[in-house]
Amino acid sequence: MSMELKKAIDQISKDRGLDREMLIDTLEEAVRTSVVRKFGDDLDVEVSFNEETGEIEVFQFKIVTKEVENEVTQISLEEAREHDPSVQLDDEMGFRLKVEDLGRIAAQSAKQVIIQRMRDAEQEIIYDEFKDRLGDIISGIVQRRDKSGWIINLGRTEALLPKDEQIPREHYKRGDRVQALIIEVRKEGRGPQVIVSRSHPDYMSALFKREVPEVDDNTVVIMNVARDPGSRAKAAVMSRDRDVDPVGACVGIRGSRIQNIVQELRGERIDIVVWSADVATYARNALSPATISRIIVDEDENMLEVVVPDDQLTNAIGRKGQNVKLASKLLGWKIDIFTESRYNEANAIGKGLEQLASVAEVPLEVFVEAGFQTIESLRNATDEELESVPGLTASKISDLRTAINFLSSAVGDTSDEHPAHAEEEEVAPEGNVDGEETE
């Protein structure tokens, strides 16, 4: 019976990966708790596990006194000398208690404490193991669905794949094997909660690390990833070795490496672009496959004005704004897309307003505050409306109209029927990207 306890401790320690000393400490504490519960808190008791015999030994200690006031904690000198003739007053004597004497209820209580302590220790080990694996890819079996998402069986514990961490339109059934990225490990009452994701940008980075040796050994670095999960993604890469092409390394021979990642992500299209410290060059790469005419960088506003040939507008913006939206996420900059004709016309009109303000000898800001922001609005204004502009006299209005007629003939008709305005109505909502998808 005694050696069976020792074997049980050894087996549990081996099977569950629990520290043997911790199991013994737990067992001793559980027995001590049961003894105190049976005999009271006054009991001075010591519990230890005997490695040689494999037994739990329980000793009760009493103080030797002339008169016994508390039989649980004291023993008379006369009774004490029956056990040890040399004992003196105020000595402390230990008496062995039989564990069997604890009774069925106390033994059951000890068993429950042991089980709970073992479970707590096992959960702590699992938590420590998985919190150190943040950013790792794990594989498990789809077990069941609950209101939060899918529960994935990882063997020693379970993981949660929340609904908002799934790839849209991806369906699972019980028993499916699924891979995902560990993004969080929470400590909860029922045990550690492992949260995994398939839509996180870092999941794609982890897949590249697994599939591409140059990424794994840090020769090629994934600088950033922007994803529209299940549809399209852009990954910015750079090489630390001049002789290694970062795009070629990630794509692989005949696309073998990238195809493995695409298949894992259920057909998600992946654009590999070369990262650059120069934001304009980086933006040109990120907006591929569109051809870019020029890029104006506004560092104060963290904004890029990108000008493309008229026939490249669709390529630059992409379906439902997807291409420019992903490029904006990848760079972390706002992006405005303009066609060459629209950009040139807008600049010409802007310069024209400045010229008109100069002719009228009125600051441009005064015209803007009065509601005149285009040449067209000034041309259509009545003399009375123009006279409301501070500083404009009748003679200046006459000079202004002469200048307007001259500029209108030079820039071209800017009425509402002009193609640039039609284009502006259709393009402006899609061309402006600030983290929001527009249609």
Is the Cα dihedral 195, 196, 197, 202 positive or negative?
positive
- 50: which DSSP letter? E
Measured distance CA(211)–CA(137) in Å, rounded: 12
Looking at residue 420, its pLDDT comes to 30
| Token code pair at residue 389 | 């502009």
Residue pair 411/348 in contact by the 8 Å Cβ criterion? yes
DSSP state of 167: P
Helix, strand or coil for residue 409? Answer: helix
Least confident among 37-41, 58-62, 91-95, 286-290: 37-41
Location of structure tokens 């708790």? 33
- Tokens read off for 211: 């599939």
Q: How far apart are CA 293 and CA 188, in angstroms?
A: 55
d(CA 279, CA 52): 73
Look-up of token digits 């670095």: 221
Q: What is the pLDDT at residue 409?
A: 63
Over residues 361-367, mean pLDDT: 79
Place of tokens 């015999």: 53
Q: Write out pLDDT tens, residues 144-190.
A: 998 889 999 998 788 999 999 999 888 899 999 999 999 999 887 67
> DSSP characters for 62-116?
EEEESS-S-TTTEEEHHHHHHH-TT--TT-EEEEEEPGGGG-HHHHHHHHHHHHH
pLDDT confidence band for 429 (50 / 70 / 90): very low
Q: Where do runs of H (alpha helix) occur along 213-371?
A: 213-216, 246-251, 256-264, 279-286, 313-317, 322-331, 340-359, 364-369
pLDDT in tens, 116-134: 777 777 788 888 888 889 9
Mean pLDDT over residues 312-328, rounded? 93
34 vs 107: CA distance, rounded Å: 7
Among residues 252, 246, 308, the alpha carbon closest in space to that of 283 is found at 308
Residue 189, pLDDT score: 67
Mean pLDDT score of the chain? 82
Pair of tokens at residue 203: 């999941």
Q: What is the pLDDT of residues 191-215, one digit of tens each?
A: 788 999 999 999 999 999 999 999 9
Cα separation of 165 and 168, whole Å?
A: 9
Model confidence pLDDT, tens digit, residues 48-64: 888 887 777 888 888 88
- Sorting pLDDT into bands at 50, 70 and 90, what band is 432? very low
On the 0-12 / 13-18 / 19+ scale of CB atoms within 10 A, 192 is buried
The tokens for 249 are: 């390394």
Q: Is the peptide bond before 309 cis (omega within 30 degrees of 0)?
A: no
- Asked whether the CA dihedral 361, 366, 371, 373 is positive or negative, the reply is positive
CB 338 within 8 A of CB 344: no
**Residue 106 above 70 pLDDT?**
no
Cis upstream peptide for 429 (omega within 30°): no
Residue 115's alpha-carbon distances to 16, 23, 109, 400, in angstroms, are 13, 10, 10, 93
Contact 92, 65 (CB under 8 A): no
Portion of the chain with pLDDT greater than 70, in percent:
85
> What domains lie within the chain, and their CATH numbers?
2-128 (3.30.1480.10), 134-198 (2.40.50.140), 202-275 (3.30.300.20), 293-318+330-439 (no CATH)
Per-residue model confidence (pLDDT) at position 100: 63
pLDDT surpasses 90 at 72: no
**Integer CA distances (angstroms), 46 to 24, 29, 33, 43, 95, in order:** 14, 10, 11, 10, 10
Token pair, residue 90, equals: 């105020």
pTM score of the predicted model: 0.62
Distance of alpha carbon 342 from alpha carbon 420, whole angstroms: 6
Tens digit of pLDDT for each residue in 386-412? 888 888 888 888 888 888 887 766 555
Burial string for 83-94 (b: 16+ CB within 10 Å, else e) reads: eeeebeeeeebe
- Give the integer Cα–Cα distance in Å for 246 and 257: 13
Q: Which tokens go with 126?
A: 């699992």
Q: Compute CA 367 distance to the chain's CA centroid, rounded to the nearest angstrom.
A: 49
Residue 328 confidence (pLDDT) above 90: yes
Distance (Å, whole) CA 415 – CA 235? 43
Q: How does DSSP classify residue 371? A: T
Taking residues 353-381, report their average pLDDT: 79
